[in-house]
C-alpha cells in the first residue's frame, strides 16, 4: 500500500501534522466535507481529508481525479506562500494535480454553488485511465478503501480528544501474499486502558479455508475493512467492538471479473456495570442509521448480533448486543451501492453510538472490587474471541497479522475458579441482563 501512497507524493512525516489539522478543522471545512465530499457524495469519488501531498497538506484530495480542494479562511499564510512557490506549483502540475480553492464564505453562504463548481470541473476532467464500474465512477472497492481510511482518522481523533493522556501509535504492516494494513493502538490512557482501530486491505489467491467454505476450486479475493475494540480503564465504561468490511471474489488473478461480493460488519457493547440507558442509547443510534435504509434492517441485524455474540459455554451473551450483519450481497431489493450506503451509514453512526456513553461514565468513581469484577468479566471476553469468534479464528488461520488480530484482547484479565456473585448486587444485575436478549428500543420508550 505504501508504494501506492508514494505515487501520490504521500509524505509519512506529515502524518502527525495532518492529524492535528483534522482536529482543528474550520466550520467551513467540516461543512464541505460532511455535506459534499465524504463517503462518495461527490459523484461517487472518494476524497481524503488533510492529506499529505508532496511537502504540504491538502485540505481535501481525490487520488483518482488528482484533484486538491483548498478552503481559505483560517490563517493560510504558510500555505499561500507554498502555492506561490513556483517550483512546487510546477512539481504539483508535473504530478498532474489540479487545485481548486474556495473561501469560508463561499462554502457557508452557498454550498450548492461550490458543489456545482467541483462537479463541473470533474465532468470536464474525467479521471484517466477511466476507473472501472459504471460511467467513470470510482469502484465500490476503492470508495470503501478510502472510506475506512477516513473513518479510522475520525474515530482515532475523537478517542484522543476524550483521553487526556494517551495517543494512538501507528503500525503499518504488509501481508505475505498481498496487501496489508494500518494498525493504530492506544495504551495506558487515562480513559482508554487499551484499544485498537485497524484498517486492512488485503488481496490475493483465496486461502484454502475460504475455498473450502465457498466450495470453489480456485479464486482470488480482495477484502478491506475497519475493525476496532476499545477497553476503557474504568469498569463503569463499557467495552465496545465494531467492524465494517467489504469482500470481493474474482475469477481471475487480475481481479477484473467479480464473481461475488458482499458487505459485513456491526457494532456491539459489553458493559461491566450496566446502566440500562446506555444500552438504550447505543441501540437507538444504530437503529436510526439502519432505518434510513429500510425498516427491516435493524430488527434482523439486532437479532443476529444477539445470536452471534453468545458465549454458549457460559450460557450468557458477551454483552448487550448491537448490530451484526454479513454476506450482504446485491439482490432484488438492494444493489451493492445500496449496501455500501448502508454499511457506511452504520460506520458513520459508530462514534455517536459510543462516545457519549464514554463521556458520561468515565468520571464515575469505582473501587478495587469493581475493578476485580471487570477483570473477571474481561476473561469472558477473551473466551468469546478465542473460542467462538469466527473473525478472530479466520484471521489467525489465514496468515493474518497476529498482533493486529489479538489487539482485541483486554490488557489485564483474571480467571478465578467458580467466581461467585452476590445476589441482588450490581454484578448480579448485569449477569441477569445477559441471559436473554432484550429489546432495548422498546425498553427505552
CB neighbour list of residue 63: distance below 8 Å, 6 or more residues apart:
8, 46, 48, 146
List 19, 141, 194, 283, residue binding its own copies (CB under 8 A): 194
- Cell for 205? 489467491
Judged by CB under 8 A, the residue of 104, 351, 414, 441 near its own copies is 414
Binder of its own copies out of 91, 154, 157, 187 (CB under 8 A): 187
- Could you say which of 128, 209, 387, 428 contacts its own copies (CB under 8 A)? 387
Grid coordinates given for 148: 475506512
Nearer residue to its own copies within complex by CB, 419 or 429 = 419
Cell of 415: 480467571
Local structure of 203: helix, strand or coil = strand
Q: φ and ψ at 168, to 5 degrees?
A: -70, 135
**Contact status: 171 vs its own copies (CB under 8 A):** yes
Stretch that binds its own copies, among 212-220, 241-249, 340-348, 408-416 (CB under 8 A): 408-416
> DSSP readout, 263-288?
EEEEEEEE-SS--HHHHHHHHHHHHH
Q: What's the rounded Cα separation, in Å, for the pair 202 and 307?
A: 28
The binding track of 233-252 with respect to its own copies, each residue x by CB under 8 A or -, is --------------------
Distance CA 342, CA 263 (A): 9
The residues, ordered by sequence, that sit 6+ positions from 440 with a Cβ below 8 Å of its Cβ are: 276, 279, 280, 282, 283, 284, 320, 321
Residue closer to its own copies, measured from CB, 171 or 337: 171
In angstroms, what is the minimal distance from the CB of 226 to its own copies? 17
Smallest separation, CB 407 to its own copies (Å): 5
Binding string, 353-382, against its own copies, x = CB under 8 A?
A: ----------------------x---x--x
Q: Which residues are catalytic?
A: 241
Contact 282, 258 (CB under 8 A): no
Instruction: Please pick, from the candidates 119, 212, 292, 415, the single residue that binds its own copies as defined by CB under 8 A.
Output: 415
Residue 429 within binding range of its own copies, rule CB under 8 A: no
Could you say whether residue 16 binds its own copies (CB under 8 A)?
Answer: no
- Residue 386 as a binder of its own copies (CB under 8 A): the answer is yes
Closest to its own copies by CB, 132 or 314: 314
Under rule CB under 8 A, which residues in 302-341 are in contact with its own copies?
Answer: 313-314
- Residue 412 found at the interface with its own copies (CB under 8 A): yes
Least CB distance from residue 406 to its own copies, whole Å?
7
By CB under 8 A, the residues from 38 to 77 that bind its own copies are none
Question: For residues 375 and 336, what is the distance between their CA atoms, to the nearest angstrom?
Answer: 41
Within 13 A of 331's CA, how many CA atoms are on the CB side? Answer: 6
**431 and 421 in contact (C-beta within 8 Å)?**
yes
Q: Are 125 and 44 in contact (CB under 8 A)?
A: no
**In angstroms, what is the minimal distance from the CB of 321 to its own copies?**
22
Q: What is the CA radius of gyration of the chain?
A: 23
Q: Which one of residues 77, 254, 418, 445 is an interface residue with its own copies (CB under 8 A)?
A: 418
| Nearer CB in complex with its own copies: 363/416 | 416
Distances from the Cα of 223 to the Cα of 75, 180, 284, 383, 395, angstroms: 41, 10, 29, 26, 12
Nearer to its own copies, 356 or 379 (CB): 379
Residue number with CB closer to its own copies (3 or 315)? 315
Helices (H), 131-241: 140-162, 208-213
Interface contacts to its own copies, rule CB under 8 A: 171, 185, 187, 194, 196, 313-314, 375, 379, 382-383, 386-387, 393, 396-397, 402-403, 406-407, 409-418
Amino acid at each position: 500500500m505504501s508504494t501506492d501512497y508514494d505515487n501520490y507524493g504521500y509524505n509519512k512525516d506529515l502524518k502527525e501534522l495532518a492529524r492535528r489539522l483534522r482536529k482543528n478543522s474550520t466550520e467551513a471545512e467540516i461543512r464541505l466535507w460532511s455535506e459534499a465530499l465524504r463517503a462518495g457524495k461527490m459523484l461517487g469519488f472518494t476524497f481524503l481529508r488533510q492529506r499529505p501531498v508532496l511537502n504540504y497538506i491538502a485540505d481535501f484530495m481525490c487520488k483518482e481525479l488528482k484533484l486538491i480542494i483548498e478552503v481559505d479562511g483560517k490563517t493560510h499564510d504558510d500555505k499561500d506562500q507554498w502555492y506561490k512557490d513556483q517550483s512546487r506549483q510546477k512539481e504539483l502540475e508535473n504530478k498532474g494535480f489540479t487545485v481548486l480553492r474556495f473561501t469560508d464564505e463561499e462554502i457557508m453562504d452557498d454550498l450548492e454553488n461550490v458543489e456545482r463548481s467541483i462537479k463541473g470541473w470533474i465532468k470536464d476532467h474525467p479521471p484517466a485511465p477511466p476507473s472501472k464500474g459504471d460511467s467513470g465512477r470510482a469502484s465500490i472497492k476503492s470508495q470503501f478503501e478510502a472510506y475506512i481510511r477516513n473513518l479510522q482518522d475520525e474515530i482515532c481523533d475523537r478517542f484522543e480528544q476524550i483521553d487526556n493522556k494517551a495517543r494512538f501509535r501507528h503500525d503499518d504492516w504488509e501481508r505475505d501474499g498481498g496487501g496489508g494494513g494500518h494498525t493504530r493502538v492506544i495504551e495506558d490512557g487515562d480513559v482508554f486502558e487499551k484499544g485498537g482501530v485497524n484498517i486492512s486491505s488485503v488481496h490475493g489467491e483465496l486461502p484454502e479455508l475460504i475455498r473450502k467454505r465457498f466450495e470453489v476450486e480456485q479464486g482470488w479475493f480482495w477484502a478491506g475493512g475497519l475493525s476496532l475494540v476499545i477497553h476503557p480503564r474504568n469498569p463503569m465504561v463499557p467495552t465496545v467492538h465494531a467492524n465494517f468490511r467489504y469482500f470481493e471474489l474474482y475469477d481471475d488473478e487480475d481481479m477484473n471479473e467479480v464473481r461475488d461480493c458482499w458487505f459485513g460488519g456491526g457494532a456491539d457493547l459489553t458493559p461491566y456495570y450496566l446502566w440500562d440507558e446506555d444500552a438504550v442509547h447505543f441501540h437507538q443510534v444504530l437503529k436510526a442509521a439502519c432505518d434510513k435504509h429500510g425498516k427491516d434492517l435493524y430488527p434482523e441485524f439486532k437479532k443476529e448480533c444477539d445470536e452471534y455474540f453468545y458465549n454458549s459455554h457460559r450460557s450468557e451473551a458477551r454483552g448487550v448486543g448491537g448490530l451484526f450483519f454479513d454476506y450482504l450481497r446485491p439482490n432484488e431489493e438492494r444493489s451493492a451501492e445500496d449496501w455500501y450506503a448502508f454499511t457506511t451509514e452504520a460506520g458513520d453512526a459508530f462514534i455517536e453510538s459510543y462516545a457519549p456513553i464514554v463521556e458520561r461514565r468515565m468520571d464515575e468513581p469505582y473501587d478495587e472490587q469493581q475493578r476485580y469484577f471487570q477483570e473477571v468479566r474481561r476473561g469472558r471476553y477473551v473466551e468469546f474471541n478465542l473460542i467462538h469468534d469466527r473473525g478472530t479464528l479466520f484471521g489467525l488461520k489465514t496468515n493474518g497479522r497476529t498482533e493486529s488480530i489479538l489487539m482485541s484482547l483486554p490488557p489485564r484479565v483474571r480467571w478465578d475458579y467458580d467466581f461467585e456473585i452476590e445476589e441482588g448486587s450490581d454484578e448480579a444485575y448485569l449477569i441477569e441482563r445477559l441471559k436473554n436478549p432484550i429489546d432495548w428500543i422498546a425498553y427505552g420508550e
